[in-house]
Amino acid sequence: MTKDLSNQKAVVAGGTSGIGLATAKMLFRLTGDVTVTGRDQKKLDALRVSDPELKVAALDSNDKNELTNFFSSTGSFDHLVITLSGAKGGGLFQELSLDDLREGFEKKFWPYLQTIQTALPYLSKNGSITILTASSTTARLSGTAGLAAINGALEVMVPILAKDLKPIRVNAISPGVIDTPWWNFLNEADKRATFEQFSEQIAVGRVGTAEEIAHAIVGVVANNYINGSTIFCNGGLS
């Protein structure tokens, strides 16, 4: 059931930071060929120095032409992992700006679908697609209705995509609260306070690490019999 990933090619869309970067490093150890994409040239340049084994590509997944050029130049590959983040759409509903929520969909929902559609002609039939959603879809925490909507829209598609795109496997990993640069809109003190508050609602008593989510992603990529599923990796967040 478990794939030998050696000599396979993986693309991590949104892989220059956080969960995507941790996944890219882990996948590289198994496959030997991983390309990460991102928009910020500084992050890409830094990665060329810190992680020279990874291939890097400047790419905005909201831009259909850039996606088309990227996948046609990369050619055939085996595993697509999408870890792009939107980081918009959180907040109490009565205060939530619907423009922010719309932007959240623009920055996460649509680029995920566009990335998958553009990649399909190049993706191996024995390959896999793994997307990142969020446990806001099930945790029912106040202030997360908008984030739950964006990620829920993706999660409900997963089992259907697994049928439409068969035999390519399609899965989602749904993280809880994870300490990554996603939270850098908060200053360090506010971030620590927020993590402490969340920790009270997480059974294991702490927020997660990017590496813990990367483990779940790599496990799904490597397991031939996980398909059409959303795997929650959230320390028991409820």
Ligand X SMILES: NC(=O)c1ccc[n+]([C@@H]2O[C@H](COP(=O)([O-])OP(=O)(O)OC[C@H]3O[C@@H](n4cnc5c(N)ncnc54)[C@H](OP(=O)(O)O)[C@@H]3O)[C@@H](O)[C@H]2O)c1
Q: Which residues bind ligand X (CB under 6 A)?
A: 14-20, 37-40, 43, 59-62, 83-85, 111, 132, 134, 175, 177-178, 180-182
Min dist. Cβ of residue 195 to ligand X (A)? 9
Min dist. Cβ of residue 222 to ligand X (A)? 20
Min dist. Cβ of residue 6 to ligand X (A)? 26
Residue nearest to ligand X (CB): 18
Contact 238, 201 (CB under 8 A): yes
Min dist. Cβ of residue 126 to ligand X (A)? 25
Min dist. Cβ of residue 112 to ligand X (A)? 8
Q: How far apart are CA 22 and CA 18, in angstroms?
A: 6
Helix, strand, coil fractions of the chain, as percent rounded to 5: 50, 20, 30
Give 3 or 55: the residue with its C-beta nearer to ligand X: 55
Min dist. Cβ of residue 154 to ligand X (A)? 9
Give 167 or 236: the residue with its C-beta nearer to ligand X: 236
DSSP 86: -
Give 227 or 234: the residue with its C-beta nearer to ligand X: 234
Give 127 or 176: the residue with its C-beta nearer to ligand X: 176
Cβ partners under 8 Å of residue 227, min gap 6: 162, 169, 170, 171
Q: How far apart are CA 10 and CA 134, in angstroms?
A: 22
Q: In what order do the strands lie in the sheet with 55-58?
A: 55-58, 34-38, 10-13, 77-82, 123-132, 169-175, 230-233
Q: By three-state DSSP, how is residue 98 classified?
A: helix
The terminus-to-terminus CA distance of the chain in angstroms comes to 31
DSSP 140: -
Give 19 or 216: the residue with its C-beta nearer to ligand X: 19
Give 150 or 162: the residue with its C-beta nearer to ligand X: 150
